[in-house]
A and B are shown apart, each in its own frame.
Chain A
Amino acid sequence: MSTDPTNPDAPRVGVDEWVASHEQRRTERSGLLGVVERELARVPSPAFYLGFGVAAAILPALTTNGYIINVGVNTLLYMLLALGLNITVGYAGLLDLGYVAFYGFAAYGYAMLASPKFGLHWDTLAVIPVVVIATVILGFLVALPSRRLVGDYLAIVTLFFGELFATVYQNGESMSLLGFTKPHDITGGPNGIPNIDQFNVFGSHIQALDYKAYYYVALIFFMVLLFAVYLVDRSRTGRAWRSLREDPLAAELMGMPVNRLKLIAFACGAGIAGVAGTIFAAVNTAVFASEFDFTSGLLIIVYAMLILGGAGSLGGVIIGALVVNVSLEVLRDPGHATWVFYVLIGATLLAKLRPWRWLAVVAAGTVGFGFAVHAIVSSAWPRGVHGTAAVGGALGSGLSHWVILPSNPTTIGNIAFICLVLAVLVLTLLHGWVQKLAMIPTLYLAAFVWENRLVVEPSITRLILVGVILIVLMNARPQGLLGTSRVEIV
């Protein structure tokens, strides 16, 4: 059964027309965009990470605004958290919903070893290794009973562990060992642990509230760990993690010890969360268990960052944490939030409404509808237009002539909010020109609800808006901003 070289028609191993002519079939984007795309593809990814590091290092030199630096520290802590989660979830594909507990465990670990709580004031160079190693061991211990679990089952077990951690620390002000010992105050219970030491190395320490110093500490840790994770990803361990995410059974049968790899992935993720936890404790000078439980929303925010950036992508960790945390901060201010709200609606209409004439009809219709409603209400019920818009400037004065602003908007705003939700749901059921026309009052209702109700509750609204941003972005790019689209079954 060997090939006959004298007979050209006989099949030859590995040679066919398709292979021979593949070069002509490669499709590439033409024009300037194509050139940029090809050039960018040639830059190795560490160059981008380094670029981010340099840009981030310059930032404190460009601003003296303490608030921006403070947000920067938080963003870097989020990046560290997302980086650790990227190993467990992004590479190894293990849905770890107890992840935040490792962060909290390390924060409490730092607090216990460097605060008046137990009179311990260790050197930071000693605390960080001890706490991080303890967190890694905790990661192992959590993973041990979970290593046979996958998917939803692993998620629910780890979620339970996360809540267990928060509950124990929340009630740890009088703990005894199974009733054999006298109760001791270990965690400070709901009062947490206050007066935590600043980072101190050989006697010299960072001044309290010196966010710039912590910014650089967090940045250095992040950059070092980012490159470490990058190198591990490009090693046999990284390949094995990604293999087990793709198909654990095939990975096991190709010689990879799947159970051990899962433990290592868990422990590595926990260790990075541990580093972030120690910095968190020192920056905030106090830790409370409630900051780490499910209702704090921390877990969801870190997952949102990872998924938005693209799970399994290191650049995505940076971009995801930046976009989500900076959005959350920008949206604290009602004026900014208003701009974001209208720009978001405008951009969505611009992207989704086709053909263009319908865009013009809806835009003009909404504006006209608004002025008409405003005119009717101001003559029939003068108190209905006495309020003021939340945002100042041209947008604010324009809005106050367009949208109805009752002087006491709470009740009517609440009702309108429910009507808005119903209207949006109805909108999805309609088709064709009916849907386009129904958009006009719905958009106006949205503006009404925003100006009268949502804008006065920024703490809630910003979460809603970030949620909407996530939905829009994830619909546009399901694999995340920098993720590669994954194929499950072909």
Chain B
Amino acid sequence: MADKLLELRKVSKSFGGLRVISELDLHVDEGEIVSVIGPNGAGKTTLFNLITGLYAPDGGDILFEGTTLLGLEPHEITSRGIARTFQTLRLFLNMTVKENVMAAAYSHTRAGLLRSVLRTPGMRREERGIEQLAEERLAFFGQRLMGYRWNQPAFSLSYANRRRLEIARATATSPRLLLLDEPAAGMNPVETHEIAELIGRLREDGGYTILVIEHDMHVVEGISDRVVALDHGVKIAEGTFDEVATSPRVVEAYLGTKAASTK
């Protein structure tokens, strides 16, 4: 078994009296693609918010590469090597497509104000590097985000292209672990198919380990090494897609007790 890249140990989170995540154990191994499924309100996005440091857990520990992430600011967690996309897109709409990606290179670049004003050779080299990185990341999506689109504002992109740009931006932080929050939401069947293929390529060519939240079961089936099902903040099943899909507790969570008992 490969090393555990990300590990959650008995993580809990409540909002007021509501328990959203309850003593959750979860791990993602190096090079794995793990899908998180569950009905709406199961705590999937909260899980992402806990990992990326937006929320502090009430209990438990979150380890990345063997060291805890607790107490770190979100931007520090990102520079450790975890990047995410958002279920509700959060692009920098009034910046150009290329700038969106270039901005995300912040955490692994150094030039300060003085060096930027003086345009020192080091700063210019770094700037060229950032630009190259952005072009490379955008080229990952074929022609879709190329050429004239580089200098267009992000708001001019179609919905599907915005989702792609979010992924490009996340990869520009040079992460080891990518958290994708419903990458296929709102896509048509062709685009969904493409996203599924893309996630595979992100691992093969990009070398990223991927934790993905997805509702589209065809995508989940196609890409996942392992599937984790959540309901009411509790892990109700874990394993291969077939194991999880046939688990009575998963069927119950999605369709209710009656459907589960007749199965």
Which A residues are within 8 Å of any B CB, using their own CB?
1-3, 11-16, 19-20, 22, 26, 228, 231-232, 234-240, 242-243, 246-247, 249-258, 264, 268, 484, 486-488, 490
B113 near A19: Cβ-Cβ < 8 Å: no
A254 near B78: Cβ-Cβ < 8 Å: yes
A255 near B75: Cβ-Cβ < 8 Å: yes
A232 near B117: Cβ-Cβ < 8 Å: yes
B197 near A255: Cβ-Cβ < 8 Å: no
Most buried by B among A16, A255, A486: A255
Q: How many Å lie between the Cα of A249 and that of B55 in the bound state?
A: 12
A231 near B116: Cβ-Cβ < 8 Å: yes
Q: Hey, which chain A residues are within 8 Å of B170, CB to CB?
A: 254
Contact of A253 among B84, B105, B113, B141 (CB under 8 A): B84
Q: Hey, which chain A residues are within 8 Å of B153, CB to CB?
A: 484, 487
Q: Check if B254 is an interface residue, CB within 8 A of chain A.
A: no
A253 near B103: Cβ-Cβ < 8 Å: no
Q: Are A490 and B155 CB-contacts (below 8 A) given A232-B113, A235-B127, A254-B83? A: yes
Q: Check if B229 is an interface residue, CB within 8 A of chain A.
A: no
Q: Hey, which chain A residues are within 8 Å of B197, CB to CB?
A: 1-3, 13
Q: List 6 A-B contacts (CB under 8 A).
A: A22-B148, A232-B116, A253-B74, A256-B103, A258-B75, A486-B94
B116 near A250: Cβ-Cβ < 8 Å: no
Q: Hey, which chain B residues are within 8 Å of A16, CB to CB?
A: 144
Q: How many Å lie between the Cα of A240 and that of B52 in the bound state?
A: 19
Q: Check if B130 is an interface residue, CB within 8 A of chain A.
A: yes
Q: Check if B107 is an interface residue, CB within 8 A of chain A.
A: yes
Most buried by B among A246, A253, A258, A268: A253
B103 near A240: Cβ-Cβ < 8 Å: yes
Q: Check if B173 is an interface residue, CB within 8 A of chain A.
A: yes
Q: Are A250 and B106 CB-contacts (below 8 A) given A13-B194, A243-B95, A268-B113? A: no
Q: Check if B104 is an interface residue, CB within 8 A of chain A.
A: yes
Q: How many Å lie between the Cα of A16 and that of B222 in the bound state?
A: 23
User: Which of B59-76 touch A at CB < 8 Å?
Assistant: 73-75
A14 near B142: Cβ-Cβ < 8 Å: yes
Q: Are A1 and B200 CB-contacts (below 8 A) given A19-B143, A250-B90, A253-B74? A: yes
B193 near A239: Cβ-Cβ < 8 Å: no
B116 near A255: Cβ-Cβ < 8 Å: no
Q: Check if B93 is an interface residue, CB within 8 A of chain A.
A: yes
B143 near A14: Cβ-Cβ < 8 Å: yes
A13 near B141: Cβ-Cβ < 8 Å: yes
Q: How many Å lie between the Cα of A82 and that of B144 in the bound state?
A: 39
Q: Hey, which chain A residues are within 8 Å of B193, CB to CB?
A: 1, 11
Q: Hey, which chain B residues are within 8 Å of A232, CB to CB?
A: 113, 116-117
B78 near A255: Cβ-Cβ < 8 Å: yes
B99 near A255: Cβ-Cβ < 8 Å: no
A250 near B91: Cβ-Cβ < 8 Å: yes
Q: Give B115's nearest chain A residue, CB to CB.
A: A235
Q: How many Å lie between the Cα of A26 and that of B148 in the bound state?
A: 10
Contact of A255 among B106, B155, B198 (CB under 8 A): B106
A11 near B103: Cβ-Cβ < 8 Å: no
Q: Hey, which chain A residues are within 8 Å of B148, CB to CB?
A: 22, 26
Q: Give A260's nearest chain B residue, CB to CB.
A: B75
A228 near B92: Cβ-Cβ < 8 Å: no
Contact of A254 among B103, B116, B117, B119 (CB under 8 A): B103
A240 near B90: Cβ-Cβ < 8 Å: no
Q: Are A484 and B94 CB-contacts (below 8 A) given A13-B142, A228-B117? A: yes
Q: Are A246 and B75 CB-contacts (below 8 A) given A14-B143, A236-B105? A: no
Most buried by B among A14, A19, A234: A14
Q: Check if B18 is an interface residue, CB within 8 A of chain A.
A: no
Q: How many Å lie between the Cα of A268 and that of B223 in the bound state?
A: 48
Q: Hey, which chain A residues are within 8 Å of B54, CB to CB?
A: 249, 253
Q: How many Å lie between the Cα of A243 and that of B74 in the bound state?
A: 15
Q: Give B164's nearest chain A residue, CB to CB.
A: A14
A487 near B95: Cβ-Cβ < 8 Å: no
A255 near B143: Cβ-Cβ < 8 Å: no
Q: Check if B132 is an interface residue, CB within 8 A of chain A.
A: no
Q: Hey, which chain A residues are within 8 Å of B99, CB to CB?
A: 239, 242
A487 near B94: Cβ-Cβ < 8 Å: yes
Q: Check if B190 is an interface residue, CB within 8 A of chain A.
A: yes
B92 near A247: Cβ-Cβ < 8 Å: yes
Q: Give B179's nearest chain A residue, CB to CB.
A: A253
